[in-house]
């Protein structure tokens, strides 16, 4: 409930400022809820007045009619909320509010699923702290919960896979993997890594069969959606080509300078760098390495899947991911894949990491909170190596810098006064997933 209220209250509801990727998905969902069809024009061929100049408009291969060019899940996810807004609340004019509320609620569900997955090995308080850090001190809040990006669905799908795998519910893990596929097709790599990895670790065929079968079912439904909307069986939706083909298509090759430059930008560019916005990840890496052997097989499989997915992502697309959002978006899948193993390994953190991690997370929280609540300071692709959104906000309004310091200090002091340093304590109880596996 806390995350749902927080995310709904801070979600981007201004049609002027939201990214055209996001607005296109909302427009497509609104038209389906309004007419029962995905077409953006009327019977006379006139485009709907809600279509913006920057809307990504594609066409159906069978009848040539214009449609919103986005991945299936981004459009489909907010159709129910758009239907409620029109048919129940009586809203006639297009609004991004239903889409924003959908993103907020789906991301709140994702953080809850992560908490439930972590609680299988951690105590309630430690699992909750890790979930709060994940949901409030990273771009999960400023991107996935702020507007309905494909990452809203991939974060939900991967956290759902984590929870279902921790419960040994492999069919459910496959369905959640399918949710991720509806958001970004190449999350297939993460889904496959979990299925194959868990089966290999346990020397059981059931996990990979169940995960594979149910995720393929979800993929077939995405293909059916694409056939209806775009006149093509390709489940890549409005992108027009299977993402697996982009690696050999020069128009989708990596950013200027090649793969290494793109990968460096993904990690450390001031505008979109994973380690710039979430430096706590770097602090946690030594603990993860030391605690690796103690992590459950599903969590380790997620790490493998996240790394492979990221390498492929860097290969097929530029690290910036466009503009009109605060933080990074292409690193969210790797972030969620790393989080369970990091949380399970924090008791292996050294003295220096234990001292620096709480204030660093407090600072991350302050920076992310300001960008999530107040839209602005967005960095464009051309300034990815020379600008940072938070710095731009502080330059425009120096009082926000003071506010960030006060927030970070307050969170850190609350941490110290609450005596939650046992977050780094060693596990003393047998993990629930291991107890169940021994009883099988």
Rounded to 10°, the helix 332-345/280-291 angle is 50
Give the span between the Cα atoms of 38 and 213, in whole angstroms.
29
Instruction: Tell me what the mean pLDDT of segment 355-368 comes to.
Output: 93
Nearest by Cα to 301 from 161, 176, 395: 161
CB-side neighbour CA atoms (13 Å) of 282: 11
Which regions of 64-198 does DSSP assign to beta strands (E)? 66-68
| Mean pLDDT taken over the chain | 88
SS3 state at 23: helix
Is residue 117 a contact partner of residue 141, using CB atoms and an 8 Å limit?
no
Task: Determine contact, residues 372/7, Cβ cutoff 8 Å.
Answer: no
DSSP at 140: I
Give me 358's structure tokens: 């709480």
Please give the average per-residue pLDDT across 108-123, as a whole number.
Answer: 95
Q: How far apart are CA 306 and CA 317, in angstroms?
A: 16
Residue 241: pLDDT band by 50, 70, 90 thresholds? very low
The closest alpha carbon to 351, from 428, 414, 282, 421, belongs to 421
Strand positions, DSSP E, 76-227: none
For helices 124-136 and 97-118, what crossing angle results, to 10°? 150
- Write the pLDDT tens digit of every residue in 29-83: 999 999 999 999 988 888 998 998 888 899 998 888 999 999 999 999 999 999 9
Give 7 or 414, the one with higher predicted confidence.
7
End-to-end, the C-alpha distance of the chain in Å comes to 35
Confidence grade of residue 343 (pLDDT, cut at 50, 70, 90):
very high
Mean pLDDT value of segment 243-255 = 41
**Where along the chain do its domains lie?**
2-99, 106-436
> What six digits make up the tokens of 57?
């408009």
Q: What's the rounded Cα separation, in Å, for the pair 330 and 265?
A: 11
User: Nearest CA to 57 among 230, 179, 211?
Assistant: 230
pLDDT at residue number 15: 56
**Backbone φ, ψ for residue 59 (5° rounding):** -140, 150
- 141-170: buried (b, 16+ CB within 10 Å) or exposed (e) per residue? bbbbbbbbbbbbbbbbbbbbbbbbbbbbeb
Asked if 103 contacts 75 with a C-beta cutoff of 8 angstroms, the reply is: no
Based on its alpha-carbon atoms, the radius of gyration of the chain, rounded to whole angstroms, reads 21
Distance CA 131, CA 150 (A): 21
Among the listed residues 156, 174, 186, the one whose alpha carbon sits nearest the alpha carbon of residue 214: 174
Provide mean pLDDT across the span 414-421. 64
pLDDT at 380: 81
Beta carbons within 8 Å of 308's beta carbon, 6+ residues apart: 189, 190, 193
Q: What is the pTM of this model?
A: 0.92
Query: Helix 297-316 and helix 150-166: axis angle, to 10°?
Result: 160
Closest CA to 378 of 104, 21, 97: 21
3-state DSSP call for residue 179?
Answer: helix
């Amino acid at each position: 409930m806390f995350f749902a209220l927080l995310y709904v209250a801070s979600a981007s509801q201004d049609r002027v400022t939201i990214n055209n990727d996001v607005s296109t998905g909302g427009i497509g969902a609104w038209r389906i809820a309004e007419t029962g069809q995905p077409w953006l024009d009327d019977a006379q061929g006139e485009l709907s007045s809600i279509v913006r100049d920057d809307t990504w408009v594609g066409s159906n291969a069978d009848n040539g009619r214009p449609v919103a060019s986005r991945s299936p899940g981004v459009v489909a996810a907010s159709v129910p909320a758009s239907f409620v807004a029109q048919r129940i609340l009586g809203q006639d004019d297009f609004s991004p509010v239903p889409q924003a509320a959908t993103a907020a609620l789906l991301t709140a569900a994702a953080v809850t699923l992560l908490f439930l997955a972590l609680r299988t090995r951690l105590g309630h308080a430690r699992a909750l702290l890790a979930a709060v850090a994940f949901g409030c001190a990273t771009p999960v809040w400023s991107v996935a919960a702020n507007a309905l990006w494909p990452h809203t669905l991939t974060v939900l799908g991967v956290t759902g896979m984590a929870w279902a795998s921790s419960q040994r519910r492999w069919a459910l893990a496959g369905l959640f993997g399918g949710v991720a596929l509806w958001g970004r097709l190449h999350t297939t790599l993460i889904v496959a890594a979990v299925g194959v990895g868990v089966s290999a670790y346990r020397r059981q065929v059931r996990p990979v069969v169940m995960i594979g079968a149910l995720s393929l079912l979800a993929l077939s439904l995405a293909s059916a959606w694409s056939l209806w909307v775009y006149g093509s069986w390709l489940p890549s939706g409005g992108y027009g080509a299977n993402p697996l083909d982009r690696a050999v298509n020069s128009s989708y090759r990596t950013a200027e300078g090649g793969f290494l430059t793109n990968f460096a930008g993904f990690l450390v560019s001031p505008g979109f760098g994973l380690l710039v916005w979430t430096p706590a990840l770097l602090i946690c890496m030594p603990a993860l390495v030391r605690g690796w052997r103690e992590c459950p097989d599903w969590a380790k499989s997620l790490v493998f899947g996240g790394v492979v997915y990221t390498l492929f992502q860097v290969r097929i697309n530029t690290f910036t991911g466009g503009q009109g959002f605060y933080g990074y978006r292409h690193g969210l899948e790797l972030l969620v894949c790393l989080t369970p193993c990091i949380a399970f390994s924090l008791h292996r953190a050294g003295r220096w990491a234990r001292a620096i991690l709480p204030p660093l997370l407090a600072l991350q929280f302050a920076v992310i909170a300001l960008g999530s609540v107040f839209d602005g300071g967005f960095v464009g692709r051309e300034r990815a190596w020379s600008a940072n959104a938070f710095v731009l906000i502080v330059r425009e309004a120096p009082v926000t810098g003071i506010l960030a310091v006060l927030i970070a200090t307050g969170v850190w002091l609350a941490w110290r006064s609450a005596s939650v340093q046992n977050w780094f304590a060693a596990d003393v109880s047998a993990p629930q997933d291991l107890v169940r596996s021994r009883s099988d």
